[in-house]
Amino acid sequence: MASTDPTAEDFEYDEFAYFRENAEEVGLEWSGPPVVERVEVSVSGSRVVSALRWGTDPIEVVLLHGTAQNAHTWDTVLLALGRPALAIDLPGHGHSGWRDDFGYRPHQLAEDVAVAVEELVDEPIVLVGMSLGGATANALAAARPDLVRRVVAVDITPNPKAEDAKDIVEFISGPQTFPSFAEILDRTVQFNPTRSVSSLRRGIVHNAVRDADGSWQWRYDRRDRSGAPTVESPDAWAQVASIGVPYLLVRGGAKGSMVRDEGVEELRRRLPGAEVVTVPEAGHSIQGDQPLELARLIEEFGFGR
């Protein structure tokens, strides 16, 4: 049997081999592997949107990750939540296809996500999105209210300040290829001081691939986009204002959060019924920093009323 240790010579990627480690790291009781399968939906020609389907009952919650992440960022949250769910790899990320038009703006991603949701989901869902996934969730809820019954935005409001994303941009703009797993891990730890090393190791295993020479490279689409078509994006705040379902913003209260007080004020002005909760010990990636608290908030807001 091949090793799941990314530093081992006989390492072989098994994306379903790490759930117990996720659970034990946060003290969740382990009663055996969850029922999870990878599914695909064709969205354009041969291009697919790939996702992890948790459970066999009708899907109740759909989750969208942030830039340079993938569906496995939600593993611990979903282990704690225990509900049938669909964690989607956004186009250009994870196992989903890359768009030839570099159409990775939220309204373009939302069009692809809508196709997947229509095919795989029976009833309107609780839609959870973090960062880019949160912006995509806003776009989807605005354009397709028939698919969504509640929205949870994780540490994102429209038009965040560029300086708040400085560390994220610097991280994802770094090298594509690393000579060893130790080097890709060192850089990841440097830019994610609030996360445990074990969780970052898992994150890399899910978000990078090892080449035959032992080097590692990121899995998401990092091609030069200088020749990408110019596309006009809808007004993001207008999208939020048009959302007609209950809305929760979960913001990080620690260094790294991308939500400012003025963003919260604007959200409340544009969407007066919106709820806002701060998670004190979390930065931008609340699902990584405080997954049990985020799971509790999703359960309470999405299903407890």
Residues known to be catalytic: 131, 155, 284
Query: What is the rounded distance in angstroms from the CA atom of residue 186 to the CA atom of residue 191?
Result: 9
Instruction: Name 9's Cβ contacts closer than 8 Å, sequence gap at least 6.
Output: 3
Residue 18 neighbours by CB distance under 10 Å: 19
Using alpha carbons only, give the angle 104, 63, 43 rounded to the nearest 5 degrees: 50
Q: What is the dihedral of CA 139, 143, 262, 292, to 10 degrees?
A: -60
Query: What is the rounded distance in angstroms from the CA atom of residue 127 to the CA atom of residue 149?
Result: 8
Query: What is the rounded distance in angstroms from the CA atom of residue 268 to the CA atom of residue 275?
Result: 8
Q: Which of 51, 55, 54 is nearest to 43 (CA)?
A: 51
Query: What is the rounded distance in angstroms from the CA atom of residue 220 to the CA atom of residue 232?
Result: 24
Q: Using an 8 Å Cβ cutoff, are 77 and 133 in contact?
A: no
Instruction: Name 232's Cβ contacts closer than 8 Å, sequence gap at least 6.
Output: none
What is the residue type of 68?
A
Rg (CA), the chain: 18
Query: What is the rounded distance in angstroms from the CA atom of residue 18 to the CA atom of residue 33?
Result: 9
Tokens encoding 286? 């609340």
Residue 273, classed as helix, strand or coil, is: coil
Q: Using an 8 Å Cβ cutoff, are 291 and 80 in contact?
A: yes
Q: Using an 8 Å Cβ cutoff, are 52 and 119 in contact?
A: no
